[in-house]
Structure 1
Amino acid sequence: MSKQPGSSTAAQSDQPDTTHPADGVAPVAEAPRPARAPGAPVLALLAIGWLAAMLWSTREAISSAAAGLTAISLSAFALPGVISAALVAGAAVALAVTGLLARRGVDRATLRFVVAVGTGLLVGLAAALAINLTYADNATTNTIAGTSAAAAIIGGALAGARDAAPVGAVVTAALGTLVFVVAFSRARDPLFDLFGADGSQASLVSAAKWVSRTESLLAGLLAGLLAFGYLTWARRRALRRDPATPALRWPAYLVAGAGPGLLLLLAEVIIRIGGRTLLDLASALSEADAVAQTSLGTSRVDNGIWVLFVGALTALVAFGRTLGPAPHDDEPEPVED
């Protein structure tokens, strides 16, 4: 039977094809969101508390100095602790604020970075204002305030990274490392005796070297374990929310373990640039002060390098121990005659 022009079949064939070429094709799956940083508000509070403690202890040390020259020397000695605390505080508070925005659906990269830098700026301004209001009004105070503000801004910028969980691990490990270094100072005298310090100059130098290495080694181990523990915790929380969340790969653990050492080295760069005036004033007091400042700077760099490598290695080893054996093919390979 032939098809007539007026038939329904012909009418259907004359209709334009409205089917979209993409119809019937499965939509492309969205890229998985990176794991969030759990406990960021608590980290922010702890970091702010540590910064406040460093500012208070520095103020007490400077105020107790009997002479202006002693105040300059003490300010230079306390500057690294304040800068490190400001760097970590800026990162921790910015991490908490960006995490709050992410939970509300605002997670664009540019906006996240701008908010992180702005949060670090607010932390830095608050620290600088507290220093100017509570410390003596002089050039030393202005140097500490300005350098602390710069460190907080840089820390906030670091928290603007896309993957929040490794940043949270770095902040946690860095904060734990800073607390450990201060607590370790109480064990220095017994360790000097343990490493053979008998009062002579040579024995004191040798013992100081071994005490510093012991401190750096233990700090690196602690940093790596804290970073690994935080990432493991973040992974478990992410799986509770979404079982399809991809697992973090080994570079995340490497960066998290090395992060505290990198922050210590970054703090040293900030100190040598922003605090150059204060360090020069302290070095100009006497030849002994110049030697002391040079020795302290070298020791801080060595400590940062040790913490970096030991922390990275510890985190990687801990991560490697969680990996299961490689799957094996159950079917035997065919044997050729």
Structure 2
Amino acid sequence: MSNQPGSSTAAEPDQPDTTDPVDEALPAIGEAAHPAGGVANRDGEVRPAAAPGAAVLALLAVGWLAAMLWSTREAIHSAAAGLTAISLSAFALPGVISAALVAGAAVALAVGELLARRLGDRATARFVLAVGTGLLVGLGTAVAINLTYADNATTNTIAGTSAAAAIIGAAIAGARTAAPVGAIVTATLGTLLFVVAFSRARDPLFALFGADGSQASLVDAAKWVSRTESLLAGLLAGLLAFGYLTWARRRAVRRDPATPVSRWPVYLAAGAGPGLLLLLTEVIIRVGGRTLLDLAGALSEADAVAQTSLGTSRIDNGIWMLFVGALTTLILFGRTLNPARLDVDDEPETAED
């Protein structure tokens, strides 16, 4: 006899329950989940989602910032003339600013996670703490630049702009939901490392895309190389962001099986985050580093064209990474959703002859 709709059948006593507690805790489509990425405890109170590995991310981000500062210093000190130093400083500025932005966010995130229990749900206190942490990171970066770089017209510009970038990055980390910020920091660090590694493949790719030595072929090949780099970097950003959020979700579920799953906007924001940070980096460069860019562009017509071309390329790369990263995380998130289950008890009964 078939069961009536809404009735339940008791489980057989001789059949052990082999359901994974983590998978059992994950809600089906349409169940409530906090849209901002928060998780709920058993009492129904929404609390900020944790960012696992925040301390490791902070160490990696600070190490990357130190490496960028050192490489920029070596390039400037190796310049034979002051004009060359200005040009090299302008070329190196985007790398330093992006590193400072990520370092400020990562360190503020780690400090916020360390004091998460004391801060509780006080969003204002968390934001003030994050900005204060970014101020310390920015001040340390500016002091290091002024003490180690050559005393020229570019030093103060690099120091001040880097400090501002660290504070802005820390302010982003002051958001109440830490897990998406951790995903963005992880994905951005991964893409920055990828861009450096990808530079070794530029020459073979130029030949692959038909660069034969003529100016037209070089320009056309450069566009395709840049697009390839942006697509791969966006794909990597989406993979890293999704992987981090999945890791954070499973850790939260193991601590509290009643934890709901974050909705798709959280994954969308995490995947688009690295591209947004690159675009934010460009804004900081054009506002805080305007003096340095103008000095470099005034050296010659070729330098002016190069600065304009590089600025346009950075904006294009940021836009490509934004959309590719966001699309990647959405696709991966969609593949984790279970199809709607058909309730066999709701099927209409067939009449028996």
Task: Give me the TM-score of the superposition, normalised by structure 2.
Answer: 0.86
1:221 matches 2:272: no
> Where does 1:112-191 land on structure 2 (aligned, <5 Å)?
112-191=126-205
Deviations 1:35-56 (A, max 9, x none): 2000000000000000000000
Deviations 1:199-243 (A, max 9, x none): 000100000000000000000000000000000000111112111
Say if 1:32 and 1:246, in contact at 8 Å, map to a contact too.
Answer: no
Partners in 1 of 2:152 and 2:82 — Cα distance? 11
Deviation at 1:335, TM superposition (A): 8.9
Say if 2:61 and 2:99, in contact at 8 Å, map to a contact too.
Answer: yes
Q: Which residue of 2 aligns with 1:8?
A: none
Say if 2:142 and 2:160, in contact at 8 Å, map to a contact too.
Answer: yes
1:329 matches 2:312: no
Partners in 2 of 1:189 and 1:242 — Cα distance? 51
Partners in 2 of 1:90 and 1:315 — Cα distance? 25
Q: Which residue of 2 aligns with 1:76?
A: 90
Say if 2:238 and 2:271, in contact at 8 Å, map to a contact too.
Answer: yes
Partners in 2 of 1:61 and 1:103 — Cα distance? 44
> Where does 1:137-286 land on structure 2 (aligned, <5 Å)?
137-286=151-300
Q: Which residue of 2 aligns with 1:91?
A: 105
Deviation at 1:34, TM superposition (A): 2.7
Q: CA RMSD in A?
A: 1.4
Q: Which residue of 2 aligns with 1:317?
A: 331
Deviations 1:35-89 (A, max 9, x none): 2000000000000000000000000000001010000000000000000000000
1:308 matches 2:341: no
Partners in 2 of 1:301 and 1:134 — Cα distance? 30
Say if 2:145 and 2:159, in contact at 8 Å, map to a contact too.
Answer: yes
**Unpaired segments ≥5 residues, structure 2:** 1-41
Query: Which is further off, 119-128 or 100-109?
Result: 100-109
Deviation at 1:32, TM superposition (A): 2.5
Say if 1:36 and 1:234, in contact at 8 Å, map to a contact too.
Answer: yes
Q: Which residue of 2 aligns with 1:62?
A: 76
1:37 to 24, 29, 51: 51
Partners in 2 of 1:335 and 1:287 — Cα distance? 84
Larger Rg: 1
Deviation at 1:159, TM superposition (A): 0.2
Partners in 2 of 1:246 and 1:138 — Cα distance? 55
What SS does the aligned partner of 1:264 have? helix
Deviations 1:114-171 (A, max 9, x none): 0000001100000000000000122200000000000000000000111100000000
Query: Which is further off, 302-311 or 325-334?
Result: 325-334
Partners in 1 of 2:267 and 2:128 — Cα distance? 26
Deviation at 1:326, TM superposition (A): 1.0
Say if 2:119 and 2:125, in contact at 8 Å, map to a contact too.
Answer: no
Higher relative CO (Cα under 8 Å, sequence separation at least 6) belongs to 2
Q: Which residue of 1 aligns with 2:122?
A: 108
Partners in 2 of 1:334 and 1:249 — Cα distance? 37
Given residue 329 of structure 1, which amino acid in structure 2 is its aligned partner?
A: D
Tell me how many residue pairs correspond in the alignment: 309
Q: Which residue of 1 aligns with 2:29?
A: none
Given residue 86 of structure 1, which amino acid in structure 2 is its aligned partner?
A: A
**Unpaired segments ≥5 residues, structure 1:** 1-27
Say if 2:238 and 2:324, in contact at 8 Å, map to a contact too.
Answer: yes
Partners in 1 of 2:155 and 2:285 — Cα distance? 14
Say if 1:51 and 1:82, in contact at 8 Å, map to a contact too.
Answer: yes
Say if 1:173 and 1:260, in contact at 8 Å, map to a contact too.
Answer: yes
Partners in 2 of 1:215 and 1:231 — Cα distance? 24
Say if 1:101 and 1:107, in contact at 8 Å, map to a contact too.
Answer: no
Task: Give me the TM-score of the superposition, normalised by structure 1.
Answer: 0.90
Deviation at 1:106, TM superposition (A): 3.8
Given residue 332 of structure 1, which amino acid in structure 2 is its aligned partner?
A: E
State percent identity of aligned pairs: 84
Given residue 211 of structure 1, which amino acid in structure 2 is its aligned partner?
A: V
